[in-house]
Every structure is written in structure tokens, then in C-alpha cells.
Amino acid sequence: MSRSRAAARARWARGLPALLALALPPGLAWAETPMDRHLPVALTQTAPPLDPLDPAWDAAPATTIGLFPQATAPDGPGGAVLDLEARLLWGDGRLALRLAWPDATADLVDTRATHRFADAAAVQLAPAAPTLPYVGMGEPGRPVAIWLWRAGGGAEGLSAQGFGSLTNDPGSQPEAKARRTATGWALVLRGPFSPEVAALAVAAWNGSEDGRAGRKRLSAWRRLESPGAEAGGDLSAEAETAGDPARGEQLFARHGCGACHGPDASQGPKLTHAGGIHWPGYLRRAIAEPEAFRVPGFTAVMPALPLSREDTDDLVAYLMSLR
């Protein structure tokens, strides 16, 4: 761990009220910090396998990735897939990602039925840059590549610079192979890959339970980490928070943030899972420069308040504790 990273982690830890951590059952107390949000990538000599049952997958470390409802999705929050297991292999210019998750029924693409929906999974790839794009399909000037798989329908490669800007990306067509397991799906998505990719986020839909397209669950960005090459660039500034969450909660009330973001408000996106989906750097930008990026589906009514850097950090630390 580099010194700046260790310092960032220490700053993060200082913000965590020790008593709160002790009072919460293990697993609820900030089990994952943004600095832990990495995904190990194992290297292979040859192209990584497409078959999810290939024994070569045993060499890739397994990471459990939590998925959170996307509160800002046009069709409302929801989503039945709570987490999935990810393994990554990189070799011969290609990245293969094996995802496994529970799903009792296989819902396949059926073009004749308009009221049935297929199981699906998507991977977003973020380019190396000091800041990560908005996790819900990127933002203007911060594009993401997307690999989308639908059960029975194969995979397609897309790119987006914000919600509703999906275009086909001929340069990044992935292959996919899925298998039913005893508990659900095992899927491999394999596509062209360069070390210029910094981070990856995943989403999954359960066709029979989620129905509408917006009812998915989404992960936060995960920084890719491979032995040797430090893929992913330096995201330590993006992960840094020096704030005090208890003071942040007071500031949230004092500045009336809940008028738009509270449980009964509809003007702003719900922030109930902000810490599950977002990184501190994104939240800092959203608070300090609301005009710089508008969350899809909302109007630009978020006020730019004259907050000090300390106040902003405290608000960010509070929001990071919500998930």
C-alpha cells in the first residue's frame, strides 16, 4: 500500500466513530471502505476461458460484490439480486469476468411476450482518470463502456455518456456464455481489454421479480487491481474522506437537505443507499458543484450552498455511512 493510500485509509478510519462501530453487529459497521473497493484480476498466459465451468476459474480470486437499489432509476428502486460473486482473468488482450448469483428461475428473452422480462447482467467499465464517471451509465464527458447480457439473448457492447445516451460500440463487442447452476446463474463475459480501464461496476436483473428495466441493483465502482501492472490509476483522492459523519448528519438537518432528499421528498434523489453506490469524490462534487452534473430524471433545483471544505467532507462522511 502506498503512503498516500495508507494516509487516506487512516483519515477514513478516523471519521468512523468507534462507539458506533462497536454498537453495530459486524458487517453493518462500514464493512467496506472505498479503499477496499478493489477487484483483483488474475493474469493468464492465454485468452481466459469463456465457459463458466472451466477449471481455470479456480485460479482467480473470488470477490463478493454488494448490489444496491438504484434509487434514481426512472422505474423506481428495487431489484432482487442482492450480491454476486465475481472472478476476473486477464490475458491475451482480453478480460473475462465470471459472475455467479442466485436466481431460482431462468427467465429467457422472448421477443413475442411484451410483459415478460429476461434475467440480465451488465458490466460498466470506467477509463483511467483521477475521477470516476457517474455510476449510472456515465455522464457527458465521462463515458463508460457497457457489456450487457440477457439470458437467451447473448451479449452486446455499448457505450454511454449519461442515461439515455446508449450507443452500440463496435470496438468492444463482448462474448458471453452462461450456465445454470444449482442455485442460479454462472456467466462469463469476455471482451477486449486494455490497462486503460480503471474500474468496473456491475448490475443485475431478475426477470421474474424485477420486471421493468429500471428495477435493477447496481454496485459501486470497483478499482481493478492486477499483480505487476497497477491497472486503474490512482483513485486515492476519489476515495478520500476526512469527515465526521455525526457532524455531517447535523449539517444535513441544519441545511434542510432532507426537504428534497428525505424519505417523503420527491424533488431530489433518495440518498438512502448513497454510501453503497457512490464514492466520496462523487458525493463531494455533487454537493460542491451541483450544476456540474445533473442526476438523470431530476431538474436542476439543487442549491449550491456556501459550505466550507470541512462541512462538505462531514456531509460526505455522513452520506457514505448510508447504505
Could you say whether residue 5 binds ligand HEC (CB under 6 A)?
no
Which residues within the stretch 17-76 sit at the binding site for ligand HEC (CB under 6 A)? 72
Could you say whether residue 294 binds ligand HEC (CB under 6 A)?
yes
Determine the interface stretch with ligand HEC among 17-25, 106-114, 221-229, 293-301 (rule: CB under 6 A): 293-301
- Mask of contacts with ligand HEC, 239-268, x by CB under 6 A? -------------x--xxx-xxx-----xx
Q: Which amino acid is at 302?
A: M
Could you say whether residue 300 binds ligand HEC (CB under 6 A)?
yes
Query: Which residues lie below 8 Å from residue 162, measured CB to CB, with a gap of 6+?
Result: 134, 137, 138, 139, 140, 296
Q: How far is the CB of 261 from ligand HEC (least distance, A)?
A: 5
Could you say whether residue 301 binds ligand HEC (CB under 6 A)?
yes
Residues 237 and 222: their CA atoms lie apart, in Å, by 15
- Mask of contacts with ligand HEC, 67-106, x by CB under 6 A? -----x----------------------------------
Could you say whether residue 269 binds ligand HEC (CB under 6 A)?
yes
For cell 447535523, name the residue.
250
Query: Which residues lie below 8 Å from residue 115, measured CB to CB, with a gap of 6+?
Result: none
Residues 109 and 149: their CA atoms lie apart, in Å, by 10
**R_g of the chain, CA atoms, integer Å:** 20
At 35, list the grid cell.
Answer: 479503499
Rounded to 5°, the CA angle 29-32-33 comes to 105
Q: Which residue of 122, 239, 286, 320 would you call a contact of ligand HEC, by CB under 6 A?
A: 286
> Please, what is the end-to-end C-alpha distance for the chain in angstroms?
27
Question: Burial, 266: exposed, middle or buried (Cβ in 10 Å; 0-12, 13-18, 19+)?
Answer: exposed
Q: Which residue's CB is nearer to ligand HEC, number 70 or number 206?
A: 70
153: number of Cβ within 10 Å: 15
Which residues within the stretch 303-322 sit at the binding site for ligand HEC (CB under 6 A)? 303, 305, 315, 319
Q: Which residue's CB is nearer to ligand HEC, number 7 or number 265?
A: 265
Q: How far is the CB of 8 from ligand HEC (least distance, A)?
A: 20
Q: How far is the CB of 210 from ligand HEC (least distance, A)?
A: 20
Please report, as ranges, the residues that interact with ligand HEC according to CB under 6 A. 72, 252, 255-257, 259-261, 267-269, 283, 286-287, 290, 294-295, 298-303, 305, 315, 319
